[in-house]
Structures are given as C-alpha cells and as structure tokens.
Amino acid sequence: MIKFLQDLIQIESLSPRDEGCFDIIEDRLSKLNFNCERINYLNVENLYATFGDKGKLFCFLGHTDVVPTGPVEKWTYPPFSAHIEGDLLYGRGTADMKGSIAAFLESLDEFFATSPNLNFRIAILLTSNEEGDAVDGFIDKIVDDMIERDERIDLCLVGEPTSYEKIGDSVRIGRRGSLGGSLKILGKQGHIAYPENVNNPIFSASDVIVELKNTVWDNGNAIFQPTSFQISNIHSGTGAKNVVPGELDMFFNFRYSTESTQETLVDEFESILKKLNIEYEINWRLSGLPYLTTEDNLKDVVVKSIENIAGYTPDLNAKGGTSDGRFVAKMGTEIVELGPLNDTIHQIDEHIKISELWTLKNIYTDILKGLNSKLS
C-alpha cells in the first residue's frame, strides 16, 4: 500500500490533470476483475470502475488531482518526492486524497480475499478535477447521465480528509451548500478634491460590509453550523492617487445550512443593498446544495467499523467545505465521508502518518465486511 501511494504521489497531477494516476489505479483494479471505463468531459478525466451484478450499488468516491504546491523551496522535502521520514510520508496529495485511494484499494484486496460471496455491487468513481474550477468540468455530468439511464448509487463513501486528531474521530454525514457571488457597486468617478461631484463606491461598500457582517442569516441546527458569509476579494481604484473610483468589485461566498435556501439568501442580501440605496450589478453562482444523510444503512456500518477498529465513537457532523458528494446527493444516495487527518491539507509539507493510513485501511475493510453482512 505504501509503495503504491508513493507511486501516486510522485505523479504531479495538478488539477484538472490526472497525468497517469488512473493508469496505475486501473491496472490494479483490472486484476480484481473490475470493469473500468474512462469518462472524459471537457478538460477532466474520470475513471468509473464496477464489480458485481446484484444488490445495492456501493460507491467509493474520490479524486486524484491536487492543489498547487506553493513555494517549492519552503518544503522540507520535494513535494512530489513521496519522502518517508520515520512514520511520516510527505507529499502533495498524501492526505487530500491519494492516501484514501491507496487505503481503499488495499481494503478491496483484503475484502475479496476473505469474503468470496458478495451481496452488493461495488463501484469506484474517481475524478481529476475536485480541487479545480467548474469551467473544466466536474463529475456532475456523469451523475446526470446515470440518472437519465435510471441508474442509482445507493451508498457512497467519500474519502475526503475528515479526521481531526485521530483517524475516524470525525465523519461527515452532510455538507453545507455553497453560494457565491460577484457584486459591482456603482459610484461616480471624479477628482478627489471635489467630493460634491463624486459618489465614492468604497464608502458605499463600507456600509454594505458592516450590514452584511452583522446579519444573522440563520442559527443552524443540530447537525449544521449557522450559515456563514465571507468576502474573499475587493478591487477598486484607477491607480491614480487623486481620482475617486467609479466602481468597486467584491467577491463573496455563503456556506449555508439546511435552515436557509438559495432564494432566501439572495432575497435578504439584495434587500440590504436596496435598503442602503446602493446602485449595483450582481451575478450569483450556486456551487452546491446542502445535503444530509438521514438513513442509517451506511452510517451505522461506518460508526460500528470505527468502533471495532479504533475503539471510539466518531462525531457525526456536516462541517468543512464542499465535496463531490454534493453531486451524488441528488440521486437520493446515502453519503458518508471518512478519510485521513485534515491538519496539513493544502499546506506546505502536507503529510500523513503511515500508521494512521493502515488504521484507515482496516476501517475501510471492516466497512466492506459490515455492508456485506447488512445487505445479505
């Protein structure tokens, strides 16, 4: 497993490019008699592998792409060297999420060796653009095509890094929605010495920001944190020191709970602009709806497996950002997310503990065995 993970890490699969990860994954799955299919869409490569012909469809969902390394000179070891130092394996993608892929493939080997009678179907769906931009294509097209063919993933395990202090201490059973927007506040450009002849959009923006910051969008619920609002970028000015700009651009994002909807957030946001008499232009972009797994089939098996292998009960939550689970959720699929620690993801010196990866593999194996028993 560790050598296989090192091979994956040494492939510089910067989003949205796979760059050969699927080749070595497919080679391994073919030896287990999986039917492997490459499904390419726009600039994105996807691998869909299936095994079995009866029972519910269980899918492991993941991605081979990684985020950029940042300044290479700041890494202790080259980011694609897959260097091992003691119990630590360093490299971009070790935790997010090539480690999960290696652990799940290893768990398949063990499961098939000990469970000859399979009571459910197994699928693996991997994409090369989980980290990148939607313009390159996501797996939503694959899911839409499956829905059109009346195919359905019943149970889905997402290998995203969900753990905090130890493997399996945190499990996602839902995700908040993501609603972003670009706001252009319009003013009137002019000479800075003649305030009576200008309308400074920066001043208007300051009023808007205070109002937005102090708004309570909702209070969340037992699973979801309250909806949060953040501003990521603000741009204004002509570059000249004596010119009041005529417009200001602001990029913002809501991470919202099931207590809010896209419609209620848009309405409240724009009502604030109108209340402050702001002249504006706005474009909205929905990146993902919130989802929550309420069924207990997969959830109970995952919790029991963590208790069996790790000896503690995980926290079930809907924290963190979005994941590709949001695309599968529209099938009515039971989705649970479980993976490595997330304390170094996207950072300089991203790494994973080898001992913890073996624990994750053992949990994955126990999940497969638990499903085989539950679905018999």
Cα–Cα dist 120/110, whole Å: 16
Half-sphere exposure of 61 (CA within 13 A, CB side): 30
- Tokens describing residue 270: 């724009």
Instruction: Please tell me which residue in 65, 106, 160, 334 is annotated as part of the active site.
Output: 65
- Helix axes 297-310 and 354-374, enclosed angle (nearest 10): 130
Q: What is the DSSP letter of 295?
A: -
53 noted as active-site residue: no
- Nearest by Cα to 2 from 338, 353, 365: 353
Are 34 and 50 in contact by the 8 Å Cβ rule? The answer is yes
CA 333 vs. chain centroid, Å, equals 17
Instruction: Please tell me which residue in 96, 106, 130, 350 is annotated as part of the active site.
Output: 130
Are 48 and 125 in contact by the 8 Å Cβ rule? The answer is yes
**φ and ψ of 47, to 5 deg:** -120, 125
SS3 70: coil
12 noted as active-site residue: no
Q: Which residues are catalytic?
A: 65, 130
